[in-house]
A and B are shown apart, each in its own frame.
Chain A
Amino acid sequence: MTMTADTPVASESIFRRNLSNFAANRLAMACALIVVLFAVMAVFAPWIAPHDPNETDLFRRLQPPAWIAGGEWSFLLGCDALGRDILSRIIYGARISIFIGLAVIFVATTVGILAGLAAGYLRGWVDILISRLVDILLGFPYLIFAIGLMAMMGPGLWNIILALAYKEWVIPARVVRGETLVTRELEYVEAARALGASRWHIMLREILPNVLSPVIVVATIRMAHVIILEASLSFLGLGVQPPTASWGSMVSDGRAFILEAWWVSTFPGLAILLLVLAINVTSQGLRDAFDPRFSE
Chain B
Amino acid sequence: MKDALLEVRGLRTVFETRAGRVCAVDGVDVEVRRGECLGIVGESGSGKSVTFSSVMGLVKSPGHIESGTVVFDGRDLRGLTPREMRAVRGRDIAMTMQDALTALNPALTVGEQIAEVLEAHDETLPARGAARRTAIRNTSVEMLGLVGIPSAETRLKQYPHEFSGGMRQRIMIAIALACRPKLLIADEPTTALDVTIQAQVLELISDIRARLGMSVALITHDLGVVAEHCDRVMVMYAGQVVEEGPTAEVIGAPKHPYTQGLLASIPRPGLRGQPIHPIEGQVPDLIGLPPQCRFYSRCAHRRDACLTPVEMRQAGPQRRARCILIGEDEA
Contact = CB atoms under 8 A, between A and B. Distances in A.
B109 A193 contact: no
Nearest to B98: A187
Interface in B94-142: 94-99, 102-109, 116-117, 120-121
Contacts of A193: 58, 89
Contacts of B103: 187-188, 190-191
B69 interface: no
A212 B106 CA distance: 12
B105 A11 contact: no
Given A14-B159, A187-B103, A209-B105, A197 B97 contact: no
Contacts of A296: none
A69 interface: no
B157 interface: yes
Interface residues of A, number: 29
Interface residues of B, number: 38
**Residue of A2, A13, A198 with highest tally of chain B CB at under 10 A:** A13
A86 B174 CA distance: 65
B106 A197 contact: no
Interface string A7-22: 1110111110000000
22 contacts: A11-B159, A11-B162, A14-B107, A14-B161, A188-B97, A188-B106, A190-B97, A191-B95, A191-B96, A191-B97, A191-B104, A192-B116, A194-B94, A195-B95, A195-B116, A196-B88, A196-B120, A196-B121, A201-B120, A205-B108, A209-B107, A212-B107
Interface of A: 1-3, 7-9, 11-15, 186-188, 190-198, 201, 205-206, 209-210, 212
Contact of B105 (A7, A8, A196, A210): A210
B276 interface: no
Interface stretch (B37-45, B148-156, B221-229): B148-156
B189 to A, nearest CB: 13
B154 A9 contact: yes
B260 interface: no
A94 to B, nearest CB: 34
A236 B63 CA distance: 56
Given A11-B157, A195-B94, A196-B89, 20 more contacts: A1-B148, A8-B158, A11-B158, A15-B107, A187-B103, A188-B97, A188-B106, A191-B95, A192-B105, A194-B56, A194-B90, A195-B90, A195-B175, A196-B91, A196-B120, A197-B86, A198-B120, A205-B116, A209-B107, A210-B106
A13 B159 contact: yes
Contact of A194 (B97, B151, B157): B97
Nearest to B164: A4
Contacts of A7: 162
B218 interface: no
A194 B172 CA distance: 12
Contacts of A12: 159, 162
Contacts of A198: 86, 120
Contacts of B109: 11, 13
B89 A195 contact: yes
